[in-house]
Chain A
Amino acid sequence: GAGVSQTPSNKVTEKGKYVELRCDPISGHTALYWYRQSLGQGPEFLIYFQGTGAADDSGLPNDRFFAVRPEGSVSTLKIQRTERGDSAVYLCASSLGGPQMGQYFGPGTRLLVL
């Protein structure tokens, strides 16, 4: 079946602009996660949704970052007033339940802020 999909695959923007990154999880997966991965580092947790609600947003670095999942399926990560330090690969993952069931990652969106 279809895996996790993310769009766009690449995004180049200018400092100060607003960007939206989209994630379409595996059908039926109630849990959705956003991570950010910088070059040479492992992914870092941003936010976790169970259904429509953000159950854990402790990884969001500041209030420029916001994510929604209004219908419990597709999620959008929104970054306001982008900064060069926001450049990274943004990964989305979904799972059926807890982490012991495995999280399935999408291909990521490579964000470059000039």
Chain B
Amino acid sequence: RKEVEQDPGPFNVPEGATVAFNCTYSNSASQSFFWYRQDCRKEPKLLMSVYSSGNEDGRFTAQLNRASQYISLLIRDSKLSDSATYLCVVSTAGAQKLVFGQGTRLTINP
């Protein structure tokens, strides 16, 4: 079983729609949580960190449920430029490495 599991998609949604992704992690010692975005044939870029209380950055909202070991990302009013692969990422206390999920591919259609 992978340490971080995501639905690979693809998700195809119309522009302006709201879309949500989820991921689950298996290591209960995980302490830091992130969403990274990766465009086709480009490097991953940090989209946002995920905090226990949930956090928002513009149209993006991230939630963490430690009891269920579940992370979510909500994108409101989606734009064509949101088309990318979204990677769920965790890190364990005391470890510096990032553990990535497989990624969820999103395409926003005009």
- Could you say which of A33, A42, A106, A107 has the most chain B C-beta atoms within 10 Å of its C-beta? A42
By a CB distance below 8 angstroms, the chain B residues around A102 are 34, 46, 49
List of A residues within 8 angstroms of B99 by Cβ: 45
- A99-B44 contact, Cβ under 8 Å, with A43-B100, A45-B97, A59-B97: no
Contact across chains for B43 and A40 when beta carbons are under 8 A apart: no
Nearest neighbor of A59 in chain B, beta-carbon distance:
B97
Closest approach, in angstroms, between the C-beta of A35 and any C-beta of chain B?
8
CB-CB < 8 A to B67: which residues of A? Answer: none
CA distance A43 to B32 in the complex (A): 17
**In the complex, A108 Cα to B42 Cα: how many Å?**
8
| Interface band, chain B | 20 to 34
> Which residue from chain B places its CB closest to the CB of A47 in the assembled complex?
B97
Distance, CA A56 to CA B45, complexed state (A): 23
Q: List A contacts of B102 (CB < 8 A).
A: 40-42
Q: Which residues of B contact A (CB under 8 A)?
A: 4, 8, 32, 34, 42-46, 49, 87, 89, 91, 95-103
A interface residues with partner B (beta carbon < 8 Å)? 31, 33, 35, 40-45, 48, 50, 55-56, 59, 91, 98-100, 102-108
**Contacts A99-B96, A102-B49 given; 9 further ones with Cβ under 8 A?**
A31-B96, A35-B98, A42-B100, A44-B100, A91-B43, A98-B96, A99-B98, A103-B46, A107-B42
